[in-house]
Structure 1
Amino acid sequence: MSITTKWVLRKNKSSHLSPSEYEKLKTQMMDDLKLGERTAEILINRGMTSIAETHRYLNPTLNDLHDPFLFDDMDKVVERIARTKVVNEKICLFGDYDADGTTGVSILFSFLKSNGFNVTYFIPNRLITGYGLHIDPLQDLIDAGVGLLITVDNGISANDQIDFCNQHNLDVIVTDHHECHGTLPAAFGIINPKVPGSNYPFKELCGAGVVFKLVQALSARLELAFDIQNAVECVALATVADLVPLQNENRSLVSAGLDYLNTKPKNPGIQALIEVSELTQLKAWHFGFVLGPKINAAGRLGEANHIVDLLTGTDSVKLMALAQFLSDENRKRQDLESAILEAALAQVETQSLNKDDIIIVVGENWHSGVIGIVASRIQEKYYNPVIVISVEDGVGKASCRSVEGFNIFAALQSCGEYFSNFGGHDQAAGFSIKAENINPMIEKIKEYGESVGIKKHLIKKIPYDATIEAGEITWELFNACSHFEPCGLGNPGVQFVINKPDIVSMGTMGKESNHLRLSMSNDIRGVGFGFGDFYHSQPDLVVNGFQGVEILCRLDVNEYRGNKTLQLLIKDIRLNPIWNSKMAMYLVKMIARSENPKAEVDLAADNINLEDLRLLRETVKRVYLLLKKAAGGGVPILSEKDPQLSPFHVLMACEIMREAGLIAYGLKDGLVFSKIIETREKKDIQNTKLMIKLEKMISD
């Protein structure tokens, strides 16, 4: 089942620039910052409103970081931690088992340990203890004489557990970045940019980023040694892996981390991980798709402590062995994920679950550590909200992934009575449920989806930055795109639409012919992974010389035997609706028969650009000459004689000429059969009712 997509021009609504202000700023960018016109336009569309702001975006540095003491509780938290050193009080860092939590623990542990604090850490086993603070391990820490607990990447909703700690004289400092719901816990101090009313100016730090700010404050106030490069390399990895937006401080931290790691890297654990991953020049996406998964694999399989060992260790031999172990564990995770994904997809296909608005699959004894990834893979394939449930001993554990616009957490709330517990946010959530409650829950959550109009959210919006001509695909434009690095969530790579790519050949590649390849007249090639079906589903493409094909893509480099060439990395491809014979017939019929065709046709869903429907008098004349030359014989809707004519324009021209009394015509098997009506009277094509209606539809 193919995904319905809609291409949307990326434009930041916050800029509020008038046309004159837009042009003035664009000129300033080009003159003062020596930028090309395209680059300046894209920067403004992405929200830049001044030269100073643009300069900071293009040249992110650690000097742009905010004062850590803008956090409301930072002063008293620093004082409390300082007291532990005076009396040698035990500190325990209580982290999360993912890449963000374990990296954050590593940053804070390294700093405190190297400065003589009595510090240890605890990371719960995902498969045994689960996420967040739990009473049993807290009791163990109390029994071990811990006097101060510092959470990392968790704790903001652990009200009961923190009350328990308070009752046993264990002070708790919460460092977290998750949303604050309801009453805040009664912790000694809270360092979280999302605390309501917080004065901290940037709200989107990851958990490791919040810990980094704490270390900044401690080192400055207590005049303690701080290996900032080591910490920045770690926080850069965590920032991308945890999918927080690469904006503001995050952009500065990731940019600096990449610079360090690509020039003179310092953290030996990350170096070892890079080496076993066979990476040379590191980019932001490597954190998210190569290094991050290896770190997360340890947590998913219940071995997160190894990450702290990796990021805080110094023995190169041991670190290489540990990095290799993590790589092997990730391979195990991938094998486990593949097996479960295959079973889940088989269930979707055999039970036609892809016809449901919310896809829900249920399996026996699926590994709970990977069902979230499986849910993401299914969501990517079908672009529906997805719930994957694994049932073991009569209890189901589930991971949910949603689509833009549909709040999966609100959907779970609608049937909360069926869950043992649940949590999450609008795009990702999870729950536990008794097996006997699964079927009634499924029915109720589907009803909720219908009640909020879920279908309107099942169109995947793909943003692009500009529409370009094929001739603009140059090394200069490719290099201009590098201004936007590091790219990731919140600061995506630059994407272009080419609506007249002048394709000279197209075909498929791969063992299953599921990937697309094409060549353009300017010798630029394109590849589209997973788009092989487009070629197979369009039998008329070759006949009409690939007319009407539109591409949404990124500029990429193909390197072969030392030679580098520009190529297009195709992110989506489609046929302009006016070149699809069935859609062309539908459009002409609606425009001819409906009083208000614009209201009848779903322009957005069908990706119809009204300007493409415009019909010129010269085009009508070209169609007339084709019909006249055919002398009553069939003229293909997809004209081989004039391949620039789309089926829509051929059919609309025929309708207008019929109204004007110039022809009589009929359709059969994709051919237009016509009879020319001889007349000496001059016909005014422009003033036919249909031409006027068409022009009004386009212009209004």
Structure 2
Amino acid sequence: MRWTLKEKPDVNIIRKLQEELGVSHIVAHLLVQRKIYNFEEAKNFFRPQLDQLHDPFLMKGMEIAVNRIEQAIQKQEKILVYGDYDVDGTTSVALMHSYLQEQTTLVSRYIPDRYKEGYGLSYQGIDFAFDNEFSLIITLDCGIKAVEKVAYAKTKNIDIIICDHHRPGNIIPDAYAVLDPKQTDCNYPYKELCGCGVGFKLIQAIEQHKNRGFSNLYNYLDLVAVAIAADIVPITGENRILAYYGIKMLNTKPREGFQALLKSQKKENYNITDVVFGLAPKINAAGRIEHALYAVDLLEETNEEQALSKAEKIEHFNEYRKTQDRRITEEALSQIEKFKEQKNYTTVVYQEDWHKGVIGIVASRLTETYYRPTLVFTKSGEKLAASARSVKGFDVYNALEACDDYIEQFGGHKYAAGLTLEEKNYLLFKNKFEKVVKANILEEQRTPEIAIDILLDFNEINNKLMRILKQFAPFGPGNMSPVFCTKNVYDTGFAKAVGKDKSHLKCEFAQEGSAVKFHAIGFGMADKLALLSDAKQVAIVYALEENHWQGNTSLQLKLKDIRPI
């Protein structure tokens, strides 16, 4: 691990904010790092307001899209809500479909089969719309690169409204309306919405067009928050506001589907992390293992009994997904070990029987293990399909673009993408991808980094600090949970390996010159146990958290790394 201490903000700015807010220098320091410089900005950060959301009509194409939907409802046209099969896509479809259902009975849903149709707008989907007399398709979380598919829909007299957030290609599809804040000529103030966020802005615009307030939109905020968390988009600006209220709704008045899925987690309060690691994998499992419409059905269910029954099915898919995940990860690791002496800059593995729905998860695990841009391929019909994941700072989308002479189709983000290619091009692509990454990756991007916000002494940590830090949530990219470093600490003799496989580290730290002691937990860090023997002094990097045990609450350090001094 490479430890990096973030640049210390200007002392005068910290002091000014400290006085203005009446907070400690630590809190002021952390706020300035998040570009919060005065009382008003701090108020907006700690108490986000829904009236701070941008006017949806600032988004290019919004007025055209709203008018077309209004026309379709008035003329009793059939509308098809078309989405992707991941969490962002399924929440988007549940949001748009349930919203439009309140205004017309002539609306239906469509999500492509991951295995038969692949990602995004498909010819089969357009044919389904034509055969069933749908004259308007609204795509969600997909469509921005579907140039040929949109042209095909036009020949069938089907209008398409694209709601997407992925990076556009050089040519924008000739759709009836295109909503994507990442279009270069779109002046929408916030560019980082997820697909469900773009869908939410569309229904917000429809409500605004009808001169109605926000009251009809509250019920959709939990869907948007789950999509924001699962799609790992920055939790800044509008996303922070939407996530803040969506998580609040998840904790106070969750829809039946979420309630049914969360039962097994048994927590009083759920946060973004619970969504990312608890809720999202279950919702994703439907599209990975069977069909994503199972997830949409659950998310739209209003009957408690039915929701529990549907959630049980989803849990079953998720258990199967876990077994596949373990098997494929082991087989992929075994492949990599055979070639580890090559000292590659990339990880590219392929096995034709790997489950296509799980390769993205495996790619993430391999990236964590070897820390390099990673592609996991499997057979998909006559072609090979892959999921790509990247390391911090390296744009895997650009690297794939540089290899597009061997790729049939690809799309995605800076850190995650998907692609298909012909089997005969696999080795050619693999070699070129290695060359492109080797030529462009920086040396520091090849080592995982822990970015430290501030150095702390133990006597600066107290319950008041923890209460304020909790209000920094929701955490995520752009607003990560603060990371601290404390030097000259030692274990009080409590250190031991814990957990079923003894892979975790539990200890108690004291600091020289301080009477305060803190319990600490380091997941997957049992290999650091030897560093703590004989009360050796070490430096630790950690986040602060509350530990709830038998009705008592205490402060605990969640360890990220330990170094000898």
* Shorter-chain TM-score above 0.5: yes
Spell out the pairing of 1:689-700 with structure 2 (5 A cutoff). none
Match of 2:536 among 543, 546, 558: 546
Cα offset for 1:566?
1.9
User: Is the partner of 2:73 in helix, strand or coil?
Assistant: helix
User: Is the partner of 2:417 in helix, strand or coil?
Assistant: strand
Match of 2:20 among 17, 28, 44: 28
Match of 1:363 among 328, 342, 351: 351
Distance 1:298 1:51, change over 3 A: same
Cα offset for 1:272?
1.9
Spell out the pairing of 1:514-663 with structure 2 (5 A cutoff). 514-521=503-510, 522-536=516-530, 538=531, 542-543=533-534, 545-547=535-537, 549-576=538-565
Distance 1:160 1:210, change over 3 A: same
Whole-angstrom distance in 2 between the partners of 1:85 and 1:405: 45
TM-score by length of 2: 0.93
Cα offset for 1:352?
2.4
Whole-angstrom distance in 2 between the partners of 1:510 and 1:316: 35
Whole-angstrom distance in 1 between the partners of 2:102 and 2:167: 32
Cα displacement string for residues 308-354 of structure 1 (whole angstroms, at most 9, x for unaligned residues): 21122222211111112112211111111011111112222344268
Q: 2:412 matched to 1:424? A: yes
Whole-angstrom distance in 2 between the partners of 1:454 and 1:422: 24
Cα offset for 1:504?
2.5
Whole-angstrom distance in 2 between the partners of 1:297 and 1:561: 34
CA contact (8 A) 1:412 1:445 kept: yes
**Partner of residue 464, structure 2:** 476
Cα offset for 1:411?
2.9
Cα offset for 1:562?
2.3
Distance 1:497 1:278, change over 3 A: same
CA contact (8 A) 2:349 2:376 kept: yes
Structure 1 unaligned spans of 5+: 577-700
Whole-angstrom distance in 2 between the partners of 1:417 and 1:304: 32
**Partner of residue 237, structure 1:** 226
Q: 2:106 matched to 1:112? A: no
Whole-angstrom distance in 2 between the partners of 1:358 and 1:41: 38
Match of 2:2 among 2, 6, 13: 6
Cα displacement string for residues 490-523 of structure 1 (whole angstroms, at most 9, x for unaligned residues): 2111111011223333332335443222222333
Whole-angstrom distance in 2 between the partners of 1:565 and 1:176: 44
Cα offset for 1:453?
5.0
**Partner of residue 457, structure 1:** 445
Whole-angstrom distance in 2 between the partners of 1:344 and 1:301: 20
Whole-angstrom distance in 2 between the partners of 1:283 and 1:272: 17
The sequence identity of aligned pairs, in percent, is 35
Cα offset for 1:556?
1.9
**Partner of residue 614, structure 1:** none
Q: 2:193 matched to 1:197? A: no
Cα displacement string for residues 626-649 of structure 1 (whole angstroms, at most 9, x for unaligned residues): xxxxxxxxxxxxxxxxxxxxxxxx
User: Is the partner of 2:405 in helix, strand or coil?
Assistant: helix
Distance 1:57 1:477, change over 3 A: same
Whole-angstrom distance in 1 between the partners of 2:135 and 2:429: 44
Cα displacement string for residues 560-600 of structure 1 (whole angstroms, at most 9, x for unaligned residues): 32232222110122223xxxxxxxxxxxxxxxxxxxxxxxx
Cα offset for 1:144?
1.5
Whole-angstrom distance in 1 between the partners of 2:265 and 2:491: 37
Whole-angstrom distance in 2 between the partners of 1:244 and 1:147: 32
Amino acid in the other structure paired with 2:392: E
Q: 2:90 matched to 1:89? A: no
Amino acid in the other structure paired with 1:510: G
Amino acid in the other structure paired with 1:167: T
Cα displacement string for residues 52-110 of structure 1 (whole angstroms, at most 9, x for unaligned residues): 11110010121211111212322222111111122211111111111111111111111
**Partner of residue 500, structure 1:** 488
Cα offset for 1:425?
3.5
Amino acid in the other structure paired with 2:170: G
User: Is the partner of 1:376 in helix, strand or coil?
Assistant: helix
Larger RCO (CA within 8 A; separation ≥ 6)? 2
Whole-angstrom distance in 1 between the partners of 2:221 and 2:441: 44
CA contact (8 A) 2:30 2:453 kept: yes
CA contact (8 A) 1:422 1:429 kept: yes
CA contact (8 A) 2:60 2:181 kept: no
Whole-angstrom distance in 1 between the partners of 2:441 and 2:197: 38
CA contact (8 A) 2:20 2:38 kept: no
Distance 1:493 1:353, change over 3 A: farther
**Partner of residue 100, structure 1:** 88
Spell out the pairing of 1:267-278 with structure 2 (5 A cutoff). 267-278=255-266
Structure 2 unaligned spans of 5+: 511-515
CA contact (8 A) 2:290 2:317 kept: no
User: Is the partner of 1:542 in helix, strand or coil?
Assistant: helix
CA contact (8 A) 1:11 1:46 kept: no
CA contact (8 A) 1:409 1:423 kept: yes
Cα displacement string for residues 651-683 of structure 1 (whole angstroms, at most 9, x for unaligned residues): xxxxxxxxxxxxxxxxxxxxxxxxxxxxxxxxx
Distance 1:203 1:358, change over 3 A: same
Cα displacement string for residues 182-214 of structure 1 (whole angstroms, at most 9, x for unaligned residues): 121111112221222222111111111111111
CA contact (8 A) 2:166 2:412 kept: no
Cα offset for 1:117?
4.9
CA contact (8 A) 2:192 2:233 kept: yes
Spell out the pairing of 1:93-242 with structure 2 (5 A cutoff). 93-223=81-211, 227-242=216-231
Amino acid in the other structure paired with 2:529: Y
Whole-angstrom distance in 1 between the partners of 2:464 and 2:536: 27
Whole-angstrom distance in 2 between the partners of 1:348 and 1:219: 53
Cα offset for 1:419?
3.1
Distance 1:116 1:179, change over 3 A: same
CA contact (8 A) 1:515 1:529 kept: yes
Amino acid in the other structure paired with 2:21: M
Whole-angstrom distance in 2 between the partners of 1:79 and 1:415: 41
Distance 1:468 1:224, change over 3 A: closer
CA contact (8 A) 2:367 2:374 kept: yes
- Aligned pair count? 558
User: Is the partner of 2:411 in helix, strand or coil?
Assistant: strand
CA contact (8 A) 1:354 1:382 kept: no
User: Is the partner of 2:173 in helix, strand or coil?
Assistant: coil
Amino acid in the other structure paired with 1:150: I
CA contact (8 A) 2:394 2:441 kept: no
**Partner of residue 331, structure 2:** 343
Cα offset for 1:405?
2.9
CA contact (8 A) 1:357 1:455 kept: no
User: Is the partner of 2:82 in helix, strand or coil?
Assistant: strand
**Partner of residue 314, structure 1:** 302
Cα offset for 1:298?
0.7
CA contact (8 A) 1:517 1:526 kept: yes
